[in-house]
Amino acid sequence: MYNDKKVVFSGVQPSGNLTIGNYLGAIKNFSAFSEDYHCFYCVVDMHAITVRQVPAELRRRTYETLALYMACGLDPQKNTLFVQSHVPAHAELGWILDCYTMFGELSRMTQFKDKSQKNADNINAGLFTYPSLMAADILLYQTEMVPVGSDQRQHLELARDIATRFNGIYGDTFVIPEGYTPKDGARIMSLAEPTKKMSKSDANENAVVRILDDKDAIIRKFKRAVTDSDTEIRAGADKAGITNLLTIYSCFTGKTVEEAEREFAGFGYGDFKLAVGEACADALAPVRAEFNRLIADKAYLETVMAEGAEAAYRCARRTMSKVRRKLGFTELKR
Ligand code: AQP
């Protein structure tokens, strides 16, 4: 609990320009919690450096991600919006939790295996211990609920295991968090390889639709989306491309996949793809307009960052003092 409310925490890495996967799987759902929970939404820049980043781009995308949070409806008066590296307790608890996370557990993480393959020349220790830092992000705020896409479920399970292990040794210290994964949109797939997750760091621009892409780019990418040699517009395990497009259409229009199947019965793939592209572009147009307004006001973004970091620190330091005491760290009398 924080300020008499249960806590929600989630984060997004500024590791690329955000995609409709990040939007539909995570950010779009964040504002639903703002009234009933105390929400901490973080730009997790420390996670981003597990893969090499160009410093100027990382800095720019950190501002942009914060602006996107707000453009997607997160009011900084109702949500604590902040940047991970501005609250050093994340790194501190991350190290502590490294010591309560097993090598075997980290070795089983599919994201580590995937990213090691993609970054074979930079398989660094941070990439390996990423889940302990993510556990620290969550546990620091005594989080009850973590809205994430399904790719992060495995990390969340590990965070629960780490918290349970720590509590088992030292007595109740951390709330055990629950995951919240949307019914639809939890795993948006690449438009170029629809059996692979859409990822913001994908080098193939045709594979990803970015939240800030303009209408022409969005429609062009959907027109090029890989489908199949069949002609039927229906969801199914044998139709990854079409299923993905139906899911995207359903998420942006609020219609069910079954309704979308009925709506497009008899359509050719070309017309269907155009309709999906238009639905996506229309839904994102207000987000893009609001983003453009916010990103022009750097001073305001810096105020939001500073106030968010201060509010996050106030909550994090309570957990840290409890953790330090339980571990047997000595206290400095000032
Ligand atoms: N394709 C996706 N479908 C649904 N949800 C997704 N998320 C990511 N991709 C999809 C969710 O977005 C949130 C933020 O993700 P992240 O920035 O922490 O990192 P990620 O999961 O590794 O996302 P990316 O886009 O694949 O980033 P890169 O390319 O840098 O690794 C999370 O809640 C995630 O589940």
Q: What is the pLDDT of residue 235?
A: 97
pLDDT at 24 over 90: yes
Q: What is the pLDDT of residue 332?
A: 85
Shared domain check, 319 and 172: yes
pTM of this prediction? 0.95
Interval 79-108: pLDDT, tens: 999 999 999 999 999 999 999 999 999 999
In total, how many domains does the chain have?
A: 2
- Please, which pLDDT band fits residue 18 given cuts at 50, 70 and 90? very high
Of 97, 11, 74, give the one whose Cα is nearest residue 48.
Answer: 11
- Catalytic one among 200, 221, 239, 273? 200
Interval 156-169: pLDDT, tens: 999 999 999 999 99
Q: What is the pLDDT of residue 333?
A: 84
Q: How far is the CA of 21 from the centre of ligand 1 (A)?
A: 7
Shared domain check, 176 and 116: yes
Taking residues 302-330, report their average pLDDT: 98
In angstroms, rounded to a whole number, what is the distance separating the alpha carbons of residues 197 and 180?
A: 19
Residue 186 is assigned to a structural domain of this protein: no
What's 134's domain CATH number?
Answer: 3.40.50.620
Q: What is the pLDDT of residue 303?
A: 98
Longest distance between any two alpha carbons in the chain, whole Å: 75
Shared domain check, 167 and 78: yes
Q: What are phi and psi of 148, to 5 degrees?
A: -145, 160
In angstroms, rounded to a whole number, what is the distance separating the alpha carbons of residues 247 and 206?
A: 18
Interval 184-198: pLDDT, tens: 888 999 999 999 999
First-last CA distance in the chain:
29
Shared domain check, 245 and 154: no
Shared domain check, 146 and 231: no
In angstroms, rounded to a whole number, what is the distance separating the alpha carbons of residues 288 and 214?
A: 8
Return the percentage of the chain with pLDDT > 70, whole number: 100
- Can you state the angle between helices 298-327 and 269-295, rounded to 10 degrees? 90
Residue 282 is assigned to a structural domain of this protein: yes
197 among known catalytic residues: yes
In angstroms, rounded to a whole number, what is the distance separating the alpha carbons of residues 41 and 67?
A: 12
Supply the range of the domain harboring residue 257. Answer: 205-292
Residue 286 is assigned to a structural domain of this protein: yes
Residue of 152, 183, 202, 245 to mutate, ligand 1, most atoms within 8 A of C-beta: 152
Do the beta carbons of residue 198 and residue 19 sit within 8 Å?
yes
Taking residues 20-28, report their average pLDDT: 95
273 among known catalytic residues: no
Q: What is the pLDDT of residue 183?
A: 87
Q: Is 187 in the pocket of ligand 1 (CB under 6 A)?
A: yes
Interval 210-221: pLDDT, tens: 999 999 999 999
H or E segment to which residue 81 belongs: strand 79-83
Q: Is 191 in the pocket of ligand 1 (CB under 6 A)?
A: no
Residue 271 is assigned to a structural domain of this protein: yes
Tell which phi-psi region holds residue 68, choosing left (phi > 0), alpha (psi between -120 and 50) or beta: alpha
255 among known catalytic residues: no
Residue 200 is assigned to a structural domain of this protein: no
pLDDT at 301 over 90: yes
CA 177 to chain centre: 16
What's 284's domain CATH number?
Answer: 1.10.240.10
Q: Is 253 in the pocket of ligand 1 (CB under 6 A)?
A: no
Residue 246 is assigned to a structural domain of this protein: yes
Q: What does DSSP say about strands 79-83 and 37-43: parallel, antiparallel, or unpaired?
A: parallel
Do the beta carbons of residue 27 and residue 166 sit within 8 Å?
no
pLDDT at 171 over 90: yes
In angstroms, rounded to a whole number, what is the distance separating the alpha carbons of residues 251 and 253?
A: 6
Q: What is the pLDDT of residue 213?
A: 97
Q: What is the pLDDT of residue 2?
A: 82
Which numbered atom of ligand 1 lies nearest the CA of 18?
25
In angstroms, rounded to a whole number, what is the distance separating the alpha carbons of residues 288 and 299?
A: 20
Both tokens of 153, joined, read: 């479920």
Q: What is the pLDDT of residue 184?
A: 85
* Residues linked to residue 6 through DSSP beta bridges, in sequence order: 37
Q: What is the pLDDT of residue 334?
A: 79
Taking residues 263-276, report their average pLDDT: 97
- Please, which pLDDT band fits residue 253 given cuts at 50, 70 and 90? very high
Both tokens of 325, joined, read: 């005491």
